[in-house]
A and B are shown apart, each in its own frame.
Chain A
Amino acid sequence: RKEVEQDPGPFNVPEGATVAFNCTYSNSASQSFFWYRQDCRKEPKLLMSVYSSGNEDGRFTAQLNRASQYISLLIRDSKLSDSATYLCALMYSSASKIIFGSGTRLSIRP
């Protein structure tokens, strides 16, 4: 089983829609969680960290469910500029390296 799994998509939704992605992880020792955004042929950029209590940044909301071992990302009022690949990532408490999921492709249509 992969350490981090994501639905590859693509998710194709109209502008203004709300879209949500999930990401599951297999190792309960995972300590920190993140969502990254990657545009085509570019490096990933941190979108937000994911906290146990859940956190929100504008139109973006991240949740962590340790019992079920998944994290989620909710995007409200989606914009054309939100089109990208969204990567979930985790870091184990025993190491400083970050492991990435395979990414979920999102395409927002006018």
Chain B
Amino acid sequence: GAVVSQHPSWVICKSGTSVKIECRSLDFQATTMFWYRQFPKQSLMLMATSNEGSKATYEQGVEKDKFLINHASLTLSTLTVTSAHPEDSSFYICSARVGGFTGELFFGEGSRLTVL
């Protein structure tokens, strides 16, 4: 099946620093990628839809200036958590759809962020 890869898998940073997470589609082109966040024992919450070559579409309540998304190519989307705080500690997962509007959604392995 299609592969979506995320990096890094784990990151620990100090409060106030910025962290960049990469999401790559390894064997297909993804014009659209989705970024989710999952707190312990909670569901995946959609943060934003990343669109290649244009601005991301953010869900209500997600600060676009804090969670910067860049989708510069058909195989790479990045999420930057700026000025991270302990409450940003979470599991961030990207996903991409293969095969158009109703195609299967493949997920990256996730990135676990811990902000001290």
Give the number of chain B interface residues (Cβ < 8 Å). Answer: 23
Contacts known (A87-B44, A98-B34); A46 close to B110, Cβ less than 8 A: no
Q: How many A-B residue pairs have CB under 8 A?
A: 43
**Is B101 in contact with A96, judged by CB distance below 8 angstroms?**
yes
Q: Which of B43, B46, B95, B109 contacts A42 (CB 8 A)?
A: B109
Interface 9-mer from A58-66, A67-75, A99-107: A99-107
**Which chain B residue has the least Cβ–Cβ distance from A95?**
B49
Give the number of chain A interface residues (Cβ < 8 Å). Answer: 19
Q: How far is the CA of A103 from the CA of B91 in the complex (A)?
A: 15
**Is B107 in contact with A43, judged by CB distance below 8 angstroms?**
yes
Q: Which of B42, B45, B49, B108 contacts A43 (CB 8 A)?
A: B108
Which residues of A81-107 have CB atoms within 8 Å of chain B's CB atoms? 87, 91, 96-103
Would you call A54 an interface residue if the criterion is a C-beta within 8 Å of the partner chain's C-beta atoms?
A: no
Complex contacts, A100 vs chain B, CB 8 Å: 36, 43-46
Residues of B in contact with A (beta carbons under 8 Å apart): 32, 34, 36, 41-46, 49, 91, 93, 95, 97, 101-102, 104-105, 107-110, 112
> A97-B49, A100-B36 are known contacts; what are 6 more A-B pairs with Cβ within 8 Å?
A41-B91, A42-B110, A87-B43, A96-B32, A98-B46, A99-B46
